[in-house]
Structure 1
Amino acid sequence: MPAILKNFEEVITSNQLASIECRIKHKEGYYIPVVAKASLVNRDRKPKIVGILRDITEKKFIERKLIEAEINFQFLFENAPLGYQSLDYRGNVLAVNKAWLEFFGYSKNEVIGKWFGDFIDPEYLKVLHTKFPQFKEDGEVKGLEYKIIKKDGTRAMISFNGKISYDENMNFKQTHGIFQDITERKKTEQTLKESEKKYRDLFENSPSSIILVDLDGKIVDCNSASEFLTGYNKADLLNHNISNLELFFEDSLDLIKKNFKLLIDGEEANQLEVKSKTKNGK
């Protein structure tokens, strides 16, 4: 009530429309939020105050929900397990979360306002210069890989996913992105590549003939020694069933098939001595 009376005093003093938010008590005892507006008018040559009350219960409910949503967002933002960052149009850092700071090893004051390129390994800056403009144009990016530099100087590989947010006029507002540490995955992939290369070198340079077949007996790979031994080119052998190429005499082929069945059934196969043929039948 004191607020409304003060509002009336302002109307009388300034002769202008005044407006405040307050609560009024309903007859049944509960309170209703309202906007109280008052203006000074002359009626019958006497100044009078006209007051209007508008129920803003729904407005206050929406405001409260928005505040709750903002609190929940901030909680999720700060406690998300993945690093989050937001950049402006030039790539300067607007916001980062706790996981980002812990991963990079910086305090928030050391990061906000800095160009994101300052945290990227120099050999990957070309990726940033190429992909960031494309990110802004496309509105999103997925699986973009960078090598970053932590505060202690160590490097790490990250995979970045992001989206652009826009203002009410659809102009660029800021980026929103999360990243995942993929350093160990990249090391595993590199180890696998090196292992595959080592296997391929051993396979190709083995003096013994090696022929790989699938469960249907179709040849899926063979080495150079197989070409020399059989007289077939690799292209002639691949994707053909080993039974149809007449590489073995009938009795030897039967033994191979029996041994092959043992392997399929999960049993131990026998070492065989068989007779093979070359392409010209020898």
Structure 2
Amino acid sequence: RQKGEAVPPRYEFSIIRKDGEKRHVEISMSTIHDAQGQPLSIGQILDITERKQAEEKLLRLSSAVEQAGDGIAITDMEGNTLFVNRAWADMHGYTVEEITGKHLAMFHTKEQLQNEVAPFNELVMKNGSNAGEVGHLRKDGNTFPTLMTTTIRKDAAGNPVGLIGTARDITERKQAEKEIQESEERFRALFNSSNDAIMTLAPPTWKFTSGNPAILNIFKVESEKEFTSLGPGDVSPEKQPDGRPSSELAQKMIQTAMEEGSGFFNWTHKRMDGEEFPATVLLTRVDLTNTSFLQATVRDITEQAQMEQYIRKTMERRGEQLQITTEIAQNISAAPGLEEIYERVVTLVKERFGYYHTQIFRHDPEKNAMVVIKGYGKAGQTMLSAGHNLPYRNSHPPRANPARDN
């Protein structure tokens, strides 16, 4: 201390004790005079280590409260605010100064006070604390949801002297929950309304764990409960069309989907009544936090397969018809005369195409009709002898289709 500088009556500093422990002390200085009137300085040293530690703890607590992300409010037992941190003020659109001393009712609408706050506070008074969702009101009039925790504050004697409340704005969480719920509802609607059988199956047994309503019709089961007692082998024939065992091939498809994320393939399934049917199967791996499972979509393609078979047979038949037509053309080209050509045409057309009878008609303008000029077999000769003809209607020639034996 510089010469002439006044000595403060009280000041603090740290000391190191003989055992090495650091302590905080406070020195109080006072001046008295002796019998001759000379001034004397008297110093008193007080160990304030515990007090300093309490002050530091209080400072840390105050700093934590001020910097907390959640809003914190302290009130008396009537609900008048004694303290709010900045997060509480910002959350509601006020400054700290605008709130201090005001009643907590300013943070709620009348409906919230009646329907949410009153029941919430009843439990606080009954149990000493309570936590739950409570609606709040901002300065601009907008409401928002919060997660509230309120505890009764007590003095050293255990008497209630006020309330300590924390509030967390959960607007984003509620919006996320709403979006998840809507997404789940959309998925559930698609799941339930799909004509395809949609199911899940999980390791290690790979039995079905759920199924949509379409499984009842496609697999002919009585209920989802019955279906979830089954596995892929129970709804498949012993072997697939290529001769491989269904059980072995199913495990291979499952393994591929789990490794690659998905798999799409044709499969022959079996209903519970024993009927087999062709299907396409889409396996999709679903990854959750602690587990993975498969979602399977099975589409019954019986009608598609029947149509493909019909088209294939039609094309084969048309190919045969084209070949037969070529043979007939080659055959009649070698006929020596017109009568022989007629004979060969009705005979070859009837025999090659399997028609019940075949005739050749020629336009007769005098009779205004189509007149038979050649027919196959006895029936053809009878029609020819009788002068069978097809009169025109409205001056248009009639159309006749040959009949098949089958």
- Give me the TM-score of the superposition, normalised by structure 1: 0.72
Partner SS, residue 250 of structure 1: coil
1:247 to 225, 232, 235: 235
> Displacement of 1:168 after TM fit?
2.5
Indicate yes or no: 2:256 matched with 1:262.
yes
Indicate yes or no: 2:126 matched with 1:137.
yes
Partner SS, residue 147 of structure 1: strand
Tell me the residue number matched to 1:212.
200
1:187 to 162, 172, 175: 175
Distance in 2 between residues matched to 1:151 and 1:31, nearest whole Å: 48
How many residues were matched structurally?
Answer: 235
Amino acid at match of 1:132: N
> Displacement of 1:110 after TM fit?
2.8
Amino acid at match of 1:280: D
Greater percentage in strand: 2
| RMSD of aligned alpha carbons | 3.0
Distance in 1 between residues matched to 2:147 and 2:116, nearest whole Å: 13
Distance in 1 between residues matched to 2:10 and 2:85, nearest whole Å: 38
> Displacement of 1:258 after TM fit?
2.2
> Displacement of 1:154 after TM fit?
2.5
> Displacement of 1:185 after TM fit?
1.0
Partner SS, residue 195 of structure 1: helix
Bigger relative CO (Cα 8 Å, ≥ 6 apart) = 1
> Displacement of 1:196 after TM fit?
0.4
Conservation of the 8 A alpha-carbon contact between 2:26 and 2:45:
no
Conservation of the 8 A alpha-carbon contact between 1:84 and 1:97:
yes
Indicate yes or no: 2:273 matched with 1:280.
yes
> Displacement of 1:204 after TM fit?
0.6
Amino acid at match of 1:266: E
Larger Rg: 2
> Displacement of 1:267 after TM fit?
5.5
Report percent identity of matched pairs.
23
* Structure-2 change in CA distance of 1:258 and 1:162 (3 Å): same
Amino acid at match of 2:125: K
Conservation of the 8 A alpha-carbon contact between 2:130 and 2:149:
yes
Q: List alignment gaps of at least 5 residues for structure 1.
A: 1-20, 24-29, 36-52
| 1:36-78 Cα shifts (integer Å, max 9, x gaps) | xxxxxxxxxxxxxxxxx996713x4444444444444333332
Q: List alignment gaps of at least 5 residues for structure 2.
A: 1-8, 12-24, 31-41, 241-245, 276-406
Amino acid at match of 1:93: T
Partner SS, residue 131 of structure 1: helix
Distance in 2 between residues matched to 1:72 and 1:267, nearest whole Å: 52
> Displacement of 1:264 after TM fit?
1.5
- Give me the TM-score of the superposition, normalised by structure 2: 0.51
Tell me the residue number matched to 1:128.
117
Tell me the residue number matched to 1:200.
188
